[in-house]
């Protein structure tokens, strides 16, 4: 029989910084569901690379992951296994640029025991009196890279975010652990927000730093945290320049991007909202995706 949710994690109570936590924000950006343009993973890695942090909780990945569906990497060298890239599902205590501490949940999305995992995160949230939970995600959309990055926003109660735009109505989507976390937190009366940045579908498989920058800014605006984006600003500008060059050099690519721009602009003009226009048919990813992905793959190798 499976154990209790409290058996899924270990709190590192010896870390002195835990004593300074007072109603912190809990941010989560897990791997394994959808992350177009690597937006959420880039945002998480950027925050951990530029802000001081300490691991304060570790989850038992053996109890939560299916290693055969997502096999960790083993390094083999000179007739021996020399390294193992062990997966880690952790909560970090991070300090923003004003030294305000917050919690950041990172690592692979659990493959099993979602309810127990959500309950475990809830226990940790209660233990530290978390005031707000914020989820980060990036989804592919039929939008051009030449327009501002759109955002789908959802929350567990009215008033947590500005009036949400009903841009898609009611749909059913594949279940994911972080979506369940937000749903269960809402049922329990906890405040939780989710941000899903819109990534041009034709570059969804390549790193798109603009998405990470947009997610971090949304996190900062909703939580009051002071979060840096300087490193992402530079890489985002560089990618935009390379995309512009690709559009200039390829008439077919330019035509499809122009169609997306016209659709986007028509929707904004009619509604005043910078989201996906739904009244016109979208160009397919095949029209543009192969050329852009080949280009960006070549850039990554460079």
Residue that has been written with the tokens 């749903």 in this structure: 183
| CA–CA dist 292, 145 (Å, integer) | 11
DSSP annotation of 189 = T
What are the pLDDT digits (tens) for 197-208? 999 888 888 899
Task: Give yes or no for residue 177 having a pLDDT over 50.
Answer: yes
| CA–CA dist 193, 172 (Å, integer) | 19
As a whole-number percent, the residues of the chain with pLDDT over 70 amount to 86
Q: What is the set of domains in the chain, with CATH numbers?
A: 5-228 (3.40.50.10900)
Range 166-193 average pLDDT: 88
Range 162-177 average pLDDT: 74
Instruction: Specify the pLDDT at position 216.
Output: 96
164 pLDDT band (50/70/90 cuts)? low
Instruction: State if pTM tops 0.75.
Output: yes
How many residues are there in the chain?
302
- What does the block give as tokens for 300? 């990554």
**Residues 166, 170, 275: CA angle, nearest 5 degrees:** 35
DSSP annotation of 20 = G
Look over the chain and give the mean of its residue pLDDT values, rounded to a whole number.
86
193 in Cβ contact with 125 (< 8 Å): no
pLDDT higher for 10 or 293? 10
163 in Cβ contact with 56 (< 8 Å): no
CA distances from 237 to 1, 145, 150, 246 (A): 52, 12, 17, 14
Instruction: Specify the pLDDT at position 279.
Output: 34
- Helix (H) or strand (E) holding 197, with range, is strand 192-200
Instruction: Specify the pLDDT at position 283.
Output: 42
Instruction: Specify the pLDDT at position 124.
Output: 97
Instruction: Specify the pLDDT at position 278.
Output: 37
What are the pLDDT digits (tens) for 138-154? 998 888 888 888 888 99
Instruction: Specify the pLDDT at position 174.
Output: 86
Question: 129 by DSSP, 3-state: which?
Answer: coil
Q: Of 57-61, 85-89, 173-177, 297-301, where does mean pLDDT reach its minimum?
A: 297-301
Instruction: Specify the pLDDT at position 268.
Output: 73
Q: Of 8-12, 75-79, 212-216, 231-235, where does mean pLDDT reach its minimum?
A: 231-235
299 in Cβ contact with 242 (< 8 Å): yes
DSSP code string of 44-86: HHHHHHHS-EEEEEEE-GGGT--TTTSPPPEEE-SSSEEEE--
Quote helix, strand, coil % in the chain, to nearest 5: 40, 20, 40
Instruction: Specify the pLDDT at position 294.
Output: 53
263 in Cβ contact with 275 (< 8 Å): no
pLDDT higher for 299 or 19? 19
């Amino acid at each position: 029989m499976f154990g209790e949710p409290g058996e899924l994690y270990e709190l590192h109570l010896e870390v002195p910084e835990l004593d300074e936590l007072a109603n912190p924000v809990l941010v989560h950006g897990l791997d394994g569901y959808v992350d177009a343009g690597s937006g959420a993973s880039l945002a998480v890695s950027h925050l951990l690379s530029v802000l001081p942090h300490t691991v304060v909780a570790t989850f038992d990945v053996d109890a939560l992951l299916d290693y055969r569906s997502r096999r960790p990497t083993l390094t083999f060298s000179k007739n021996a296994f020399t390294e193992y890239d062990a997966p880690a599902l952790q909560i970090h205590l991070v300090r923003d640029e004003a030294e305000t501490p917050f919690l950041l949940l990172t690592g692979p999305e659990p493959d099993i025991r979602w309810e127990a995992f959500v309950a475990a995160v809830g226990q940790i949230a209660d233990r530290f009196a978390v005031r707000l939970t914020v989820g980060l995600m990036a989804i592919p959309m039929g939008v051009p890279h030449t327009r501002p990055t759109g955002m789908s926003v959802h929350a567990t109660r009215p008033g947590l975010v500005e009036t949400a735009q009903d841009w898609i109505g009611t749909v059913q989507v594949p279940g994911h652990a972080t979506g369940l976390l937000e749903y269960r937190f809402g049922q329990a009366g906890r405040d939780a927000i989710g941000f899903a940045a819109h990534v041009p579908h034709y570059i969804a498989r390549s790193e798109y730093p603009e998405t990470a920058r947009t997610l971090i800014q949304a996190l900062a605006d909703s939580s009051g945290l002071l979060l840096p984006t300087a490193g992402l600003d530079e890489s985002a500008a560089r990618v935009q320049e390379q995309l512009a060059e690709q559009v200039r050099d390829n008439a077919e690519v330019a035509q499809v991007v122009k169609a997306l721009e016209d659709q986007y602009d028509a929707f904004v003009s009619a509604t005043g909202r910078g989201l996906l226009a739904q009244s016109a048919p979208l160009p397919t990813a095949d029209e543009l995706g192969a050329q852009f992905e080949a280009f960006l793959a070549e850039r990554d190798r460079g």
